[in-house]
Amino acid sequence: MSSFYVSDPIHPRVLDELHTMGQVHLGYGPTATPYTAVQDSVEAVMLRAERFTADKIQASSRLKIIARHGVGTDNVDIQAATDAGVWVTVTPGSNARSVAEHVFALTLALARRIPAATAGTAAGQWAAIKPALTGFELQGRTLGLLGFGRIASLTAGIARGFGMPVLVSDPYVAPDTVEQLGARLVPFDDLIAQCDVLSLHAPLTTATKHIIDAAALARMRPGTVLINTARGGLVDEAAVLAGLESGHLGGAALDVLDGEATDMQDPLPHSPELAARLGSLDNLIVTPHIAGQTSQSLLAAGTQALACIQQALAGQDPEHAVNTVSPTA
């Protein structure tokens, strides 16, 4: 009988299918089992937020695949997996629509000052708070997209429905690819200087680490809104907080935090300055990495990850692998 480990909640339909294939160990919930307790038997891992280090991989003698339930691999030691003959796979496109829609949920919440309106109403200030709650419409406001993969492409399409001109900065895409979606490709400096809403969709690399820092913020128009649903490390959180407090930055919505590089399951203690300000700034929204979390995206990602597991256990090369495993490994 095959043995599986599921790190975090997945769609019930996918979990039911796993149960028909073998024994399932859950790393979450009231009866959570630590991976280290079952590492000798597990053949496949369906992984969301938990970090899979070299130590875990090297201690897993029967492990054949780590199927990421998502597109990022920040929490997997891919080299250690490759050395151990363990596949690492992802689920491209499974949550793209979900993330793109969350970009606009956050943008609209900031544009219409929803958090402040809710807090004021809850405090019994229905009439008193209204004069301070004048927002702005998205029509005619320029959306800047840093990075232009699947999610950003969908975001650009939604922006057109709001009547927003779209600028894109991405060194790896051609102008005609961007123009086909009614957007315009510009250098990074032009992007941040000309947009009213800046949405981040770039991967986290040494080149993009804290690409939105104090210098970048200073080049933005007063009142610009920043949205980050990509990777927390793209943003210098201290600089963003300073921009919000000074009023230069009109608002910021972060679904990802820099602290996730240390702890994906509880990053707030690792982003102490932001944690200390959370709740005191009415133009700051922080959501707990839920942009890609809808019932539809969970089913899509889980179904893709499950297919990869089935392929690997059958001795086949799984789809969407990010590494290459030797047949003799």
Model confidence, pTM: 0.92
DSSP per-residue codes, 66-119: EEESSS--TTB-HHHHHHTT-EEE--TTTTHHHHHHHHHHHHHHHHTTHHHHHH
**What is the torsional sign of CA 34, 35, 40, 41?**
positive
Give the whole-angstrom CA distance, residue 196 versus residue 176.
23
Q: Give me the residues paired with residue 197 across strands.
A: 143, 225
Assigned token pair, 210: 């804290």
Identical fold, 2-93+295-313 and 96-286: yes
The confidence score (pLDDT) of residue 327 equals 66
List the 224-228 sheet strands across, edge first.
Answer: 184-185, 166-169, 143-146, 197-200, 224-228, 249-254, 284-286
Spatial CA neighbour of 230 closest among 147, 119, 106, 123 = 147
Question: What's residue 329's pLDDT?
Answer: 45
The count of C-alpha atoms lying within 13 angstroms of the C-alpha of 154, restricted to the half-sphere facing its C-beta, is: 15
Please give the structure tokens belonging to residue 280: 């005191």
Nearest CA among 85, 58, 64 for reference residue 22:
64
Alpha-carbon gap, residue 310 to 21, rounded angstroms? 9
Out of 113, 237, 260, 320, pick the active-site residue: 260
Using CA atoms, how far apart are residues 181 and 212, in angstroms rounded to an integer? 25
Question: Which of 165, 164, 167, 168 is closest to 149 using CA atoms?
Answer: 168
Q: Which of 102, 141, 289, 320 is catalytic?
A: 289
Known active-site residue 25: no
Q: What does CATH list as the number for 2-93+295-313?
A: 3.40.50.720
In the residue annotation, 102 being an active-site residue is answered as: no
Return averaged pLDDT per consecutive 10 residues of the chain, 329 residues in all. Answer: 94 97 96 95 96 96 96 92 98 96 98 94 93 95 97 97 98 95 97 98 95 98 98 97 97 96 87 90 95 96 98 96 80
The DSSP H or E segment spanning 3 is strand 2-6
Map out the domains of the chain as residue ranges: 2-93+295-313, 96-286
Helix (H, G, I), strand (E, B) or coil at 228: strand
Active site residue 260: yes
Axis-axis angle for helices 96-111, 295-313 (nearest 10): 150
Catalytic annotation, pick one of 48, 231, 237, 320: 231
Q: What per-residue confidence (pLDDT) applies to 264?
A: 80
CB atoms within 10 A of CB 80: 17
CATH superfamily ID and name for 96-286? NAD(P)-binding Rossmann-like Domain (3.40.50.720)
Distances (CA, A) of 98 to 130, 180, 198: 32, 22, 18
Write the DSSP assignment of 49-64 as a string of letters.
SS-B-HHHHHT-TT--
